[in-house]
A and B are shown apart, each in its own frame.
Chain A
Amino acid sequence: MAGMDGVEIHGVHEGMLIDQFAIALSTRERTSTEEILRGRLRFATEIVKEIKKKVGKDFPVGLRFSIKSYIRDWNQGGLPDEEFKEKGRDTEEGLEAAKILEEAGYDALDADAGSFEACIGPSHLFIKSMALSSLSRKTKESGEDSCNRFG
Chain B
Amino acid sequence: MRKPHPSRALSAQEQDALASELDALRDSVVADLGERDARHIRRMVRIARYSALFGRVALMFGFVPLLWPLAVFALGISKILENMEIGHNVMHGQYDWMNDPRMNSQTYEWDNVGTSANWRKTHNFKHHTYTNILGLDDDLGYDVTRITGAQRWNPGYLLQPAYNVVFALLFQWGVALQDMKLGRYLLGRRPVSEMIAKFRPIIRKSGFQMFKDYLFFPLIAGPSFVAVLLGNFIANGMRNVWTYSIIHCGHFPAGVRVYSRAECRNESRGHWYARQMNGSANIEGSRLLYILSGHLSHQIEHHLFPDIPAHRYPEMAPTVRAICEKYGQHYVTGSFIRQFGSVIGKFFLYAIPNLQRRPSAA
Specify whether A and B are partners: no
A: residues with CB less than 8 A from B are: none
